């Protein structure tokens, strides 16, 4: 059962996004300026620890379906996140660890059972063969210096403000800009487009299902596509626990070798 589940970090880090945040009710008025809107979205990612279960369907040259668990610890100063494969059996235990502090470049490791650990040298590489990169799941572009509302548009009948985010001096990203279509009534991103510094569309993330749980509007399913039209990734959230007991060990190369579930 999805409970208080929101995919804002997936959009801002993975992102598709993919992860929890503090709740927002429909009665709250949406911020009216770019910096205010971005600050509201950014703060929803910096709320401590969480544990997530989800299904990821990767469609392309070789179709595959993965069941994943995610552990994350996020504050205003730093982000730590672990993705681990639970299914299928032949990939069980594959893990990715990512860490980012302030404006520094994210660092991470990939673990392949039984005991292979490699450093991530290129954050633009794919996460488990999906249409998401390592950078997508750790980066929070809502925290970038430059945030501007550049237009409005309706998506599936919902009025959206289009927020354009650009990295400032000292903020490192392979993306030159990101546009987000924010449903201002529910404060939910319905579409994200990520562009290179030359203006080329690199990645598109679309919310395909929004649910309401205990008065909270939740992006439950996402579709991710890249520059190649013959591939896509579908993400479906299934379980979330907030404020879970995670330790420093969970975010180490030794810790990601174990498929533990926090209490």
pLDDT value at residue 212: 76
Q: pLDDT by residue (tens digit) across 140-179?
A: 999 999 999 999 999 989 999 999 999 999 898 999 999 9
Q: Is the pLDDT of residue 186 over 50?
A: yes
Q: pLDDT by residue (tens digit) across 85-120?
A: 999 999 999 999 999 998 889 999 999 999 999 999
Identify the weakest region by mean pLDDT among 88-97, 194-203, 237-246.
237-246
Could you give the CA distance from residue 115 to residue 86 in angstroms, rounded to a whole number? 17
Q: Which residues pair with 161 in a beta bridge?
A: 152, 182
Q: Is the pLDDT of residue 181 over 60?
A: yes
C-alpha distances (whole Å) from 143 to each of 9, 23, 128, 154, 248 are 12, 18, 26, 25, 25
Q: Which domains does the chain have, with CATH numbers?
A: 8-257 (2.50.20.10)
């Amino acid at each position: 059962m999805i409970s208080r589940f929101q995919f804002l970090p997936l959009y801002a880090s993975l992102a598709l996004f993919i992860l929890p945040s503090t709740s927002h009710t429909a009665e709250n008025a949406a911020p009216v300026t770019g910096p205010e809107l971005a600050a509201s979205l950014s703060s929803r990612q910096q709320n401590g620890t969480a544990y997530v279960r989800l299904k990821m369907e990767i469609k392309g040259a070789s179709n595959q379906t993965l069941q994943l668990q995610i552990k994350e610890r996020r504050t205003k100063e730093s982000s730590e996140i672990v993705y681990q494969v639970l299914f299928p059996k032949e990939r069980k235990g594959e893990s990715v660890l990512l860490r980012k502090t302030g404006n520094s470049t994210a660092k991470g490791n990939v673990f392949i059972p039984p005991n292979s650990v490699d450093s991530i040298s290129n954050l633009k590489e794919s996460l488990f063969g999906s249409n998401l990169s390592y950078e997508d799941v750790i980066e929070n572009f809502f925290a970038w210096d430059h945030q501007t509302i550049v237009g409005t548009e309706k998506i599936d009948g919902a009025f959206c403000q289009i927020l354009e985010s650009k990295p400032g001096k000292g903020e490192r990203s392979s993306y030159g800009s990101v546009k987000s279509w924010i449903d201002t009534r529910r404060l939910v991103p319905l579409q994200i487009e990520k562009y290179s510094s030359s203006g080329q569309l690199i990645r598109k993330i679309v919310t395909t299902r929004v649910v309401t749980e205990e008065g909270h509007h939740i992006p439950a399913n996402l579709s991710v596509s890249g520059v190649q039209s013959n591939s896509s990734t579908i993400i479906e959230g299934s379980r979330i626990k907030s404020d879970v007991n995670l330790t420093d060990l969970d975010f180490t190369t030794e810790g990601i070798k174990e498929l533990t579930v926090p209490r």
